[in-house]
Amino acid sequence: MAWFRSVAMDVLSAEILIGNMALALNGLRVNEYGCNDPFFKRLLGIVFIMCVVWLWHFFRVVIASGDCDAAKGGPYLPLQIPKPEVNYKDVTIVDGVCARLYVPISATPNQKLPLVVYFHGGSFTMFSAFLPSYDDYVYSLSTKANVVALSVEYRKPLTYPIPIPFDDSWAAVKWVASHSAGQGPEELVNNHVDFTRVFLQGDSAGGTIAHNMVLRAGLEKPEGLNIAGLALMHPYFWGSKPISTRETRNETMSAQAARVWFWAGGSNIDDPRVNPLEDPNLSSLGCNKVLVVIAEQDIFRDRGFYYYDALASGDCDAAKGGPYLPLQIPKPEVNYKDVTIVDGVCARLYVPISATPNQKLPLVVYFHGGAFTMFSAFLPPYDDYLYSLSTKAKVVALSVEYRRPLTNPIPIPFDDSWAAVKWVASHSSGRGS
Tell me, yes or no, whether 48 and 76 share the same domain: no
Q: How far is residue 350's CA from residue 365's CA, in Å, rounded to a whole number?
A: 10
CA distance 179 to 159: 31
Whether residues 305 and 343 fall in one domain: no
What's residue 70's pLDDT?
A: 44
Alpha helices in 234-379 (DSSP H): 245-249, 251-263, 301-312
Range of the domain at 40: 2-65
In-domain check, residue 171: yes
236 and 276 both lie in a single domain? yes
In a domain, 430, yes or no: no
E-strand stretches of 48-192: 86-94, 97-104, 113-119, 148-153
Residues with Cβ within 8 Å of 232's Cβ and at least 6 positions away in sequence, in order, are: 201, 202, 203, 207, 210, 211, 290, 291, 292, 293, 304, 307
Give the chain's domain count: 3
Which of 282, 312, 342 lies at the terminal end of a domain, its last residue? 312
- Whether 31 maps to a domain, the answer reads yes
- Residue 10's pLDDT is 44
Which pLDDT score is estimated for 322? 40
| Coarse DSSP helix, strand, coil percentages of the chain, rounded to the nearest 5 percent | 40, 20, 40
102 and 40 within one domain: no
Domain boundary among 280, 312, 344: 312
Residue 74 lies in a domain: yes
Tell me the residue type at 151: S
Same domain, 126 and 265: yes
What pLDDT sits at residue 27?
Answer: 38
10-residue stretch averages of pLDDT, the chain, 433 residues long: 41 45 40 49 64 52 42 50 84 95 93 97 92 93 96 93 96 96 94 96 97 96 91 94 78 85 90 92 89 86 84 52 52 88 91 93 96 82 91 96 83 96 94 79
Four-CA torsion 168, 174, 178, 181, nearest 10 degrees: 150
pTM for the structure as a whole:
0.64
Whether residue 259 is found in the same domain as residue 333 = no
Burial zone of 424 (CB within 10 Å; 0-12 exposed, 13-18 middle, 19+ buried): middle
Asked which of 39, 65, 91 is the last residue of a domain, the reply is 65
Whether 255 and 395 map to the same domain: the answer is no
Do the domain assignments include residue 431?
Answer: no
* AA identity, residue 179: H
Assess whether 74 and 31 both reside in one domain.
Answer: no
Asked if residue 212 and residue 136 are part of one domain, the reply reads yes
Q: Are residues 246 and 188 in the same domain?
A: yes
- DSSP 8-state secondary structure symbol assigned to residue 298: -
In a domain, 433, yes or no: no
Question: Is the Cβ–Cβ distance between 48 and 41 less than 8 Å?
Answer: no
pLDDT reported for residue 330: 67
For residue 253, the model assigns a pLDDT of 82
Same domain, 87 and 217: yes
- Say whether both 13 and 87 belong to one domain: no
Domain assignment present for residue 121? The answer is: yes
Q: What is the CATH number of the domain that holds 257?
A: 3.40.50.1820
Structure confidence at residue 220 (pLDDT): 93
Cα–Cα distances (Å) from 246 to 16, 190, 249, 299, 372, in that order, read 17, 47, 5, 7, 15
208 belongs to a structural domain: yes
- Give 214-268 as a DSSP string: HHHHHHH--TT--EEEEEEES-----SS--SHHHHH-HHHHHHHHHHHHHTT-S-
